[in-house]
Amino acid sequence: MLEISELTCHYGTQLAISGVTFSVPKARVVGLLGPNGAGKSTTMKAVCGLLRPTSGEVRINGHPVNARNRAARRAIGYLPEHPPLYPDLTVSEYLHFCAGLRGLARRVRSARIDAAIETCDLKAVRGRIIGRLSKGYQQRVGIGQALIHEPEIVVLDEPTIGLDPNQIREIRALVRNLGSERTVLLSTHILSEVEAMCDEVVLLHEGEVAFRSALSDSARPRSDGTLSAMWRQPPPTDVLATLPGVRSLEVRSSGAVVFSCTDPDQVTRALLETSLKQGWNLIELSQGQDSLEDVFFALTQGRQILSRTPPGGANQ
């Protein structure tokens, strides 16, 4: 549905993004994650045709995104970080105006407006002045204008910024619902937002793709075979150190013992069997994981983590 190939953009002499490449299939929510200044908004503007890239290409459903290709531009619905609202209009008036800007025929405008209001749960406020609505409702109106022409791809720049916790939960649910039918590309620098809304994450750092993964794969056992165990009555560490497959161990202040293993499966079996036989009362046994937060901090602070390929995607 969306293909971004070797995308590079300059602002004057300032390099904003360099060689950004990834693709997004249909009906999938992909989060562009990265610290401020990583190139997220620049990438989104290039995807939407609002910024001409220095080099590279964006294609939507096979159509190149440029000023002359209306098919590609019609396929995009865009919500910038600050929604382009008219505060003196009612919700219905504003959506009617946006439908006109999108060139929708008058005979279909009412149906499209009703559909956007239904999808964004705006029925209770459709006749109210936008400037008098809460920030959460205003964000919903902004998403409504992005959906008015039934685009195949919805691009959302920081959709939950400035919202309170209840409003954030509502927008998260709305985005997940959109992702069941459309391709959604959203940007954020908040890790929990990606984990709550997205099927896949693309992490940008200093204008380049530093990491890409399906969310189900973003936390997985570390390559060094780390295990963590905890007992109600901790056994002698010299005994634990002699278990088959244990390379070394470390006792944490919490009481947990972290094992570095040559064979995690072998150590797991030995821990379970020995704890049961000796009556050590094992209460926790888990494999160490790199969480999305671990990955984010490792990559943005200069450590290296191998990219993980999402289903059907290319390794970045």
Q: CATH says 226-287 is which class?
A: alpha beta
Model confidence at 302: pLDDT above 80? no
Is pLDDT at 122 greater than 50 in this prediction?
yes
Sheet order of strands, 226-231 included: 246-251, 257-261, 226-231, 282-287
What is the C-alpha to C-alpha distance for residues 6 and 27, in angstroms, rounded to an integer? Answer: 23
Determine which of 12-21, 185-194, 205-214, 221-230 has the lowest per-residue pLDDT on average: 221-230
pLDDT digits (tens, 9 = 90+) for 52-75: 999 999 999 888 887 677 888 888
- Give the H/E segment covering residue 3: strand 2-11
Residue range 61-112, pLDDT digits in tens? 888 887 677 888 888 999 998 889 999 999 999 999 999 999 999 899 999 9
- Across the range 203-217, mean pLDDT stands at 81
Work out the angle between the directed axes of helices 135-147 and 106-119 (0-180°, nearest 10).
140
pLDDT attached to residue 145: 95
Which of 74-78, 180-184, 194-198, 212-216 shows the lowest per-residue confidence on average (mean pLDDT)?
Answer: 212-216
What homologous superfamily does CATH list for 2-217? P-loop containing nucleotide triphosphate hydrolases (3.40.50.300)
Can you say whether residue 224 is alpha, beta or left, with left for phi > 0 and alpha for psi between -120 and 50 degrees?
Answer: alpha
Looking from the CA of 278 toward its CB, the CA atoms found within 13 Å total 16
Task: Say yes or no to pLDDT of 225 above 80.
Answer: no
Average confidence score pLDDT of the chain: 84
How many Cα atoms occupy the beta-carbon half-sphere of 104 within 13 Å?
A: 22
Which carries the bigger pLDDT value, residue 128 or residue 261?
Answer: 128
**Tens digits of per-residue pLDDT, 123-158?**
999 999 999 999 889 999 999 999 999 999 999 998
Domain ranges of the chain: 2-217, 226-287
